[in-house]
Amino acid sequence: MAKINLTLDNLNEVFPGNFTQEQIAKAKTLFLKRLAELSHNYYKGKMQTIPKAPVIGFNWFNVWYTPGVSKISTEIRDNNELSYELSNRGNLVAVVSDSTRVLGDGDVTPPGGLGVMEGKAFLMKYLGGVDAVALCVDSRDKSGMNDPDKIIDFVKMSQYSFGGINLEDISSPNCYKVLDTLREECEIPVWHDDAQGTACVTLAALFNAFKLADKKMEDSKIVLFGAGASNTAVARIMFKAGADPKKTIMLDSKGGLHKNRKDIEDDPRFYPKWEVCTATNPDCVETIEEALEGADALVALSKPGPSLDPALVKKMADKPIVFLCANPVPEMYPYEAEEQGAFITATGRGDFPNQVNNSLGFPGILKGALLTNATGITDEMAIAAAGSLAKFAEKRGIKPDNIIPSMQEHGVFPHEAADVAMQAIEDGVARKTLTWDEAYNQAQKDIELARNMTQKLINEGYIQQPPPEMVDEAFDWAIKQVS
């Protein structure tokens, strides 16, 4: 049997010496999927609910519940804002999905999304000190079609239990209507992590990539490959941050987006794509080959699996920046892009350098919004988060294979939360005002509490260590599949 350190940190070192880079990449993906299957079955999920208040004696139940808690109900009745102080609402997020576009697997039925939504809640707690609950809903109408209005109604009705909403894995084009309607009509922040989260972290990585390449984003030609919720959000945030729409080309499965794309213009459900059509690609470029001619940066966010010829990198300008962010299999592997001259590569995966992953964004962004009891999350707050991530990395040093913080750099999250909180106050969406230091210290305290509590549960055996044989089984299985 293979012997692997349970932290998985030495994964790159244990593959057979005769494996090619492609075999190693495939084996990693298979290994992680198999280990996820085994470990989720072992733990029966990832999240649980535990009290945050003590039970000193039996009569304390009368304080936490009836009759004492009646006073809390009437206090909140008379001033709804007190729900943020007298309940856990101020630090609680709902992770809402209809499970219609889960990773690269598409529609996995409503309960099929629970693994991902629990994972989101897991990361929020451990990385951001934010409590979260997974809510997978059935958005299908009587004909079996997914109805965005059902998600909208659900969130609007349940918003009073939460301080924020994280939308996740809702298929296009429904995701556009759901997000924009809820941002407009809810009294709490609504965040679509597949769109806004990806845009935020991608922008942070672009800031530092352009800096290392000694280029200015506003002067650069940028190609966006893939035109779903993620890349359309990247475009919107990128333009607000200074990129030039006229020097930008986006492509979908039918070719370049431009003013002559009647198929997009005639379908009102795709209005974010039509906005890109009218703002970008003035020369109506149709193909990826032509689009990449002289391009400074490529941001690929398309369907998983090989879809780009690595030789295309040679068409790009000097010091090309190549982000290959389809998960779990990128559009081309980063080592293939580097062989063709890519100066900086990034993916959405943690087993390659420069992981552009939403997990760097949403814990800190949502924490910053919650700290201020914000009524919404503005695009400026997302840009502030991107700038915070980029500056955090720059302060500790950046280089082509390390342009953005990793999730292991714990200090990034309270720093990001504080920067977002300050932007919320500046944008006028904060119900609660505090200083940067106050926001940072509260975020740091909550994050340390979550991590220390988890570690204590592990140390005292309430959370079991994964059996070594389970990891070995997953690794050996993956090796056999690839050999």
Task: Specify the pairing of strand 248-252 against strand 255-256.
Answer: antiparallel
What's the Rg (C-alpha) of the chain?
23
Q: How far is CA 222 from the centre of its chain?
A: 22
| Cα–Cα dist 124/458, whole Å | 19
DSSP letters spanning 422-477:
HHHHHHT--SS---HHHHHHHHHHHHHHHHHHHHHHHHTTSSPPPPHHHHHHHHHH
How many CB atoms are located within 10 Å of the residue 268 CB? 10
Residue 417 near residue 374 (C-beta atoms within 8 A): no
Could you count the other beta carbons within 10 Å of the beta carbon of residue 413?
A: 31
Between the two ends of the chain, the Cα-to-Cα distance in Å is 15
Torsion of CA 420, 422, 425, 427, to 10 degrees: -60
Torsion of CA 435, 439, 442, 445, to 10 degrees: -120
Q: Which residues contact 20 (CB under 8 A, 6 or more apart)?
A: none
Residue 399 CA to residue 248 CA, distance in Å, equals: 25
Question: From the centroid of its chain, how far is CA 373?
Answer: 21
Residue 320 structure tokens = 């090309």
| Torsion 30-355-179-163 (CA) sign | positive
Q: Quick check: 150 and 110 in contact, CB under 8 A?
A: no
Longest dimension (CA), the chain: 74
* Number of residues written out for the chain: 483
**DSSP code at position 266:** T
Query: What distance in Å separates the CA atoms of residue 287 and residue 304, rounded to the nearest whole number?
Result: 20
Number of helical (H) and strand (E) elements in the chain, helices listed first: 18, 10
Helix axes 198-212, 229-240, angle to 10 degrees: 50
**Can you say how many angstroms the Cα of residue 350 is from the centroid of all Cα atoms in its chain?**
13
- CA atoms of 445 and 434, how far apart (whole Å): 15
- Catalytic amino acids? 65, 120
